[in-house]
Structure 1
Amino acid sequence: MLEGQSCLISRAIPSSCEQESKWVYMTYRLLEITSNKRTPCVELEEQDEGGAVKRAKLPKNAYVEGTGSSDCQGGGGQYPESGSLINQIGRDNSISCLLRCSRSDYDALACVNKSFRSLVRSGELYKLRRWLGISEHWVYFSCNVLEWEAYDPYSGRWITLPKMPHNECFMSSDKESLAVGSELLVFGKEILSHVVLRYSILTNSWSPGIEMKTPRCLFGSASLGEKAFVAGGIDAYGNILRSAELYNSETETWVTLPSMNVPRKKCSGVLMDGKFYVIGGMASNTELLNCGEEFDPEKGTWRVIPNMSSGLNGASGAPPLVAVVNNELYAAHYAEKEVRKYDKKANSWITLGRLPERPDSVDGWGLAFRACGERLIVIGGPRTLGGGIIEVNSWIPEEGPPEWSMIASKHSASFVYNCAVMGC
């Protein structure tokens, strides 16, 4: 069951066995039934815990027959003649079922007919899923230059993304990545300029992304839904930055935010308790920073937090490995192979236990530590010559020391260059 799905279903339909059975039946019928009738644009309703009704309306152009590209993965580009959704259960019920299907099934659903494909490829389903609080978190990472893979922990499936466009300077430059909305953004450099490449899950393709107001690399970032925060980093001339920006993937725009108090590069970013935190980093090529900064979006102000990253930076200046699950901040101390938890009141770190044994890092580089929904994950592998294995280890934080489970592995290079988690 998808994250947030059980509570949404319990609010959307009566909790009787008969109604639950009908809901499941309708979902499975999505791939079997089509109809020639067209019905108007749908308005969905959802009650929150206090009984208040929320409404969302999909635009008509999300269902126009024949919109979207003509190819269909696994379908040879051919569709049934029908251009509508499931008339037998109504458009709103059809869409409600689609919203609660796994997004790993969306490619197959897009091949049912042109209206299904238009609905999936328009991105409207993902907007409604965000509105309803339904999300699946997939992990995207790169272990080879210009090559990206994704892992879907819900179906246990590996997905190979198309190769990034070839660019000699971009290949050899430092790169940062973040996932926002239904996009994966990768930031790199040419000689004296920056490059942004964007992968869309709607088109399964790469295209040029939108440049920041102040292009940068080696920055800290964090995202939630369709919005992402970035701060710090270096510009094309190597200057260390204090500036920060906010990206909206739906409008494809960057907005300049107030600047931090301290310039920093090679820092990490997280979102916690509705605020954006930038942790650690370097103020120069030799000066490690132990402080963090907290940005309050409502007030538009930054606050310095002394010693927030004390002990987390390595001698090489690798960014701190930090992640937030359920508004609790965790860190991977790669030198000691420990997992630590941040005590917000005491502004200190508590050692919980050990990291997985097999994944290695090179002074903090090459190892990914991320939040993936309700779990923490570690991605990496043992260092070997002539190939290796990449492993995905998972732990759902609870009382007691970490108990890691290896949920996936495959033959691959084991050094992780970039990693991002997309929840949609």
Structure 2
Amino acid sequence: MGSLPSPPPSPSPENPLSNYVMVTIFCPREPTQNVTLPNSIELYYPSINTWTNVGTIPGLIDDQVLKDFAMVSLGDFIYIIGGQICHKEKVHVNDDSAEFLDEGIKVVTNVLRYNIRTNQWFNCAQLNVARYDFACTVCDNKIFVAGGKSKLASARGISSSELYDPDHDTWTQLPNLHILRYKCIGVTWKGKVYIVGGFAERENSDVTMPSIVERSSAEVYDMEAKKWNVIGGMWQLDIPPNQIVAVNDTLFSSGDCLNAWKGHIEAYDGKLWNEVDGSHMRNLSTLEYNYENWPLNQRLYLTMAPIGNRLFFLAGYRVGGGELARTKSVVHIFDTSASVDAWRSVEPIELEGEKELCSHCCVVQLSSP
């Protein structure tokens, strides 16, 4: 792990990934003796297959963790937006075992900015509406957020949306979505902001369309008219997507919020989601036979992000058990431009403890010093 290294050098023909860094935020799956529960911020450098721990999210006390927030990048900065503060509650399962569940404490409006180069934190203007499990994306150097939940353990999503201007450090309220949504996905595609899927319903859903129609829909923001337009059937499933990312003019997905890896990658052609040829890969769910002498181990987390034409899947697998449990990180890479042998996996790395992902990763393309 170690301290923050110098930022990677500018890209070179020999190492085109050398100025990219992927940012992830973890917490321990369970509290252990003499171990608190801070959010640990860890950077993955894809050019050298190295992880670095750079600290924790400021402002949380020892037994609190921030979850269900959004994280995006602009320039050398990442922004951590909203979320809910939780603590781990031990719940009795049977006479022999118990498990820890997240107990919500507060939904927050906080917005933090972190400089990757200098390792400095800044407080930004707060959201107009506290929210977690919401959609977030960047378009035209502005941050768009929409939907989510604003109350702990609420059964319904919200429809509010807002825009952040980093040049003026201001949040501006946008028109409401047409549909209440949470666990929806934000993605910028062909220059437009899309809010896709989610556990969704109309405010008067008991007398209008069935929920499958709403949950499979998306909404796209019309910049000129300053309004949201509904697109029917863009996701096509009743269960919200886990992640959707854009590579060139194509959208890619690999699962839903109940099953982060469906066994293959799907691409959206503007009308339908179709399986990508050559994308089937079984061992993202478990650590399997391709690593010699390693037993079968269940996946702890999975998140993906695009760099160029490639999709990077950051996966963590449980190794060992009890107080000796730890995480094996394996990064799987899919080349969307390849016609054959599109998959490759890098050398596994052991990380401390048994980790839980608190938000999907984001990619920072560092500017030239």
TM > 0.5: yes
Query: Which structure has the higher relative contact order (CA within 8 Å, separation 6+)?
Result: 2
- Structure 1 378/261 Cα, relative in aligned 2: closer, same or farther at 3 Å? same
Question: Match of 2:262?
Answer: 336
1:360 corresponds in structure 2 to: 285
Alpha-carbon shift at residue 105 of structure 1 (Å): 4.4
Judged with a 3 Å threshold, the aligned counterparts in structure 2 of structure 1 residues 249 and 357 are, in CA distance, closer, same or farther, namely: farther
For residue 395 of structure 1, the aligned residue among 334, 338, 345 is 334
- Cα deviation, 1:92-147, whole Å, max 9, x if unaligned, reads xxxxxxxxxx95249xxxxxxxxxxxxxxxxxxxxxxxxxxxx9432111232510
More moved, 294-303 vs 167-176: 167-176
Question: What does residue 40 of structure 1 align with?
Answer: none
Cα 1:299–1:183, aligned 2, differ >3 Å: closer, same or farther? same
Deviation of 1:287 (Å): 5.5
| CA gap 1:188/1:336 in 2 versus in 1, 3 angstroms | closer
Q: What is the CA deviation profile of residues 276-310 of structure 1, one whole-angstrom value per residue up to 9, with x for unaligned ones?
A: 111111026x9661111222323323222222112
* 1:298/1:156 CA distance change after superposition, 3 Å: farther
Partner Cα separation in structure 2 for residue 355 and residue 259 of structure 1: 38
Q: Does 1:178 align with 2:72?
A: yes
Residue 173 of structure 1 and its aligned partner are, at CA, apart by 4.5
Whole-Å separation in 2 of the counterparts to 1:242 and 1:364: 33
Alignment of 1:136-151 (within 5 A): 136-144=19-27, 145-151=38-44
Structure with more strand by fraction: 2
How many residues in Structure 1 have an aligned counterpart in Structure 2?
291
Identity of aligned residues (%): 24
Task: Give the aligned residue type for 2:243.
Answer: L
Q: CA RMSD in A?
A: 3.3
CA distance in 2, matches of 1:423, 1:244: 27
SS at match of 1:358: helix
Q: Displacement of 1:402 after TM fit?
A: 6.6
Query: Is 1:301 aligned to residue 227 of structure 2?
Result: yes
Name the amino acid aligned to 2:301.
G
The residue type paired with residue 371 of structure 1 is P
Match of 1:372 among 301, 307, 329: 307
* Shift in CA distance, 330/220, structure 1 to aligned 2, threshold 3 Å: same
Contact 1:367–1:415 under 8 Å retained in 2: no
Amino acid paired to 1:243? S
- Comparing 150-159 with 166-175, which one deviates more in the overlay? 166-175
8 Å CA contact retained: 2:264, 2:279 = yes
Contact 2:301/2:316 (<8 A) preserved: no
The answer as to 2:235 corresponding to 1:320 is no
Residue 209 of structure 1 aligns with which residue? 124
CA distance 1:170–1:312, change in 2 (3 Å): farther
CA distance in 2, matches of 1:303, 1:171: 36
Q: Give structure 2 stretches of 5+ with no counterpart.
A: 11-17, 28-37, 86-104, 202-209, 287-297
Give the Cα separation in 2 of the matches to 1:408 and 1:246. Answer: 40
Tell me how far apart the structure 2 counterparts of residues 217 and 367 of structure 1 sit (CA, whole Å): 20
Question: CA offset at residue 274 of structure 1?
Answer: 0.3
- Give yes or no for the alignment of 1:251 onto 2:160: no
Contact 1:150/1:158, CA 8 A, preserved across alignment: yes
Matches of 1:420 and 1:214, distance apart in 2: 23
Q: Is the 8 A contact 1:215 1:235 kept in 2?
A: yes
C-alpha displacement of 1:400: 3.3
Return closer, same or farther for 1:352/1:294 CA change in 2, 3 Å cut-off. Answer: farther
Select the structure that is richer in helix. Answer: 1
Given the two structures, how large is their TM-score scaled by the length of structure 1? Answer: 0.60
Unaligned runs of 5+ residues in structure 1 are 1-72, 75-101, 107-134
Task: Report the TM-score, using the length of structure 2 for normalisation.
Answer: 0.68
